[in-house]
Every structure is written in C-alpha cells, then in structure tokens.
Amino acid sequence: MANTVTFQATGTSSKMKTELKMGNHGMIIDEPPSMGGTDTGPDPLSTLLAALAGCENVIANLVAKEMKFDLQGIEFDVKGDLDPRGLMGKADVQPYFNQVYVYAKVTTDETVERIQELKEKTDARCPVFTTFEAAGIPIEANWEKA
C-alpha cells in the first residue's frame, strides 16, 4: 500500500505491568491488585475505551472543520460490558466486549441535527470506532448538545 502510515508501540513487561513507548510518549498499562497487578496504570480494556474516546475527538475535530461546524468541545463517557469469565478461560464465553456505549456531550451553538451529522461522519471515519464495528462488537453511540 502506497499511502500507509505505520503506528507502533514498544515495551517491556513484568508480571501484569507493561511499560510502553509510542514515539516520544510513554504509558504504563497494568491491572489492579485484585487481578495480580500493582495498579500503576490503567488496565488494557479501559485503555482501549480511552483510545475510542480520543480517536472520536480527533476525527470530530477534523470533520467539524470540513463542515464549518462550531465545535467548542466534547465530553465523552465510554463504557464497555464484558463477561470476565471469557478472559479467565471459560471456553463458551467471549473474551471481548459484549457491548460498547459512547455518550458524548457536544459544546456548540449548532443544532441537534448538525450534531447528529457530525456524529455520523465521525463514527464512519474513526479508525477505532470502525475497528469495533468490523469485529462485530455492538456500539451504542449517543451524542447530545451540552
């Protein structure tokens, strides 16, 4: 592919803790003590949901500029439901999210209809959102005016 951009994370792990580098940035992913970690960073699943919020924000700002949309800010609340028995090895339980919820409050002077247009265009172009969709994970996304 001629127009491919490569993203990379490298790191080292010790027990449940992984220390990562992404370009000039560092991140720790860990588990709480109840899962055998030291709680020095967020868990991997919460990090995945945070990536969804961050990606939606970036794409929303790109789309808003194209639409000449007055985007003053967005507050996100992203949740995912998962049955932990799957990641603990129970064969008949999926080890990934059963459902993901995205709630966004958009600070703007725009109409509700324009907010929905921004949401639809953002969801269609967000690599993290569309990765969840491609994996068949249901996403309920609601954007409203703040």
| Residue 38 banded pLDDT, cuts 50, 70, 90 | very high
No. of H helices and E strands in the chain?
Answer: 3, 6
Residue 2 has what pLDDT? 81
| Residue 146 banded pLDDT, cuts 50, 70, 90 | very high
- What digits encode the pLDDT tens for the residues 111-144? 999 999 999 999 999 999 999 999 999 999 999 9
What's the rounded Cα separation, in Å, for the pair 64 and 45?
Answer: 28
User: Are residues 82 and 114 in contact, defined by beta-carbon separation less than 8 angstroms?
Assistant: no
Q: Map residue 81 onto helix, strand or coil.
A: strand
- What digits encode the pLDDT tens for the residues 48-84? 999 999 999 999 999 999 999 999 999 999 999 999 9
What's the rounded Cα separation, in Å, for the pair 139 and 72?
Answer: 25
What's the rounded Cα separation, in Å, for the pair 32 and 114?
Answer: 41
Q: What does pLDDT average to over the chain?
A: 97
- What digits encode the pLDDT tens for the residues 88-107? 999 999 999 999 999 999 99
* Percent of the chain surpassing pLDDT 70: 99
Residue 1 has what pLDDT? 63
